[in-house]
Structure 1
C-alpha cells in the first residue's frame, strides 16, 4: 500500500506534513503548520508558533529546529522527504 503524499513544510521545505494548513507539526523542524501564517505572509506572527515564519526559518537555519527546546523532539529529514 502506498503512503499518502506529503505536503511541504513552509519552514524547512521538507515533505513531512500529512495535511496542508491543518496545524500538523513538522517532525524535522517542529514548525506547527498554521494556516494564518500562509494567509498573512511570512512576517506575520503565528500564534501557535509564537514567532513569524521568517523568524522560524532563520532559527531553523541556525539551530536545525524552530526553538531550541524542541531539539529533543526533532529528527533528521528522510531522503524521500527532500524536495530537490
Structure 2
C-alpha cells in the first residue's frame, strides 16, 4: 500500500498530497499547506488554524482542533492510539511484513470510522 504523510500529524494517512483529503487521525484537511507556510492561517477548510497550531493541538490531545471544539470519545482515543502504534511499526521494525501491518492499519481505520458514526447524536 502506498500512502503519503499528513502534513499535520506526519503519519501515512493520505492517498495524495494537496487533494483536500481529511486525515483520519488529526482531521487536518490537506489543502497543500506545508512547512514553508506552517505558521500562516490560510482559512478555508482548516478555519482559523495554522498548520503549526494544528500540529501542537495534535500532540496535546490527538486532534488538530483545540480540545474544547472537538473532544473525541474515550473509545475513539483508544482506537487512535492503536492506529498510531500500527503506523509506527512501519518505521520501527524493518523485519516485519509490511502487508500485515497495513492490514492492521486498515482494520483500525475502519474501527475508527465506525466509532465516529456510532457516537454521532
Dislocated runs of 4+, deviation >6 Å: none
**Counterpart for residue 16 of structure 2:** 19
Gaps of 5+ in 1: none
Pick the structure with greater CA Rg: 2
Which structure has greater helix proportion? 2
Query: Deviations for 1:3-59, whole angstroms, at most 9, x for unmatched residues?
Result: 3x1110011110000111110100011111111x23861011132111100000111
**Counterpart for residue 56 of structure 1:** 54
Which structure has greater strand proportion? 1
**TM score, norm. by length of structure 1:** 0.77
**Counterpart for residue 42 of structure 2:** 46
Q: Partners in 2 of 1:40 and 1:71 — Cα distance?
A: 30
Gaps of 5+ in 2: 92-121
| Partners of 1:57 and 1:66 within 8 A in 2 | yes
Q: Tell me: higher relative CO, structure 1 or 2? Use CA pairs within 8 A at least 6 residues apart.
A: 1
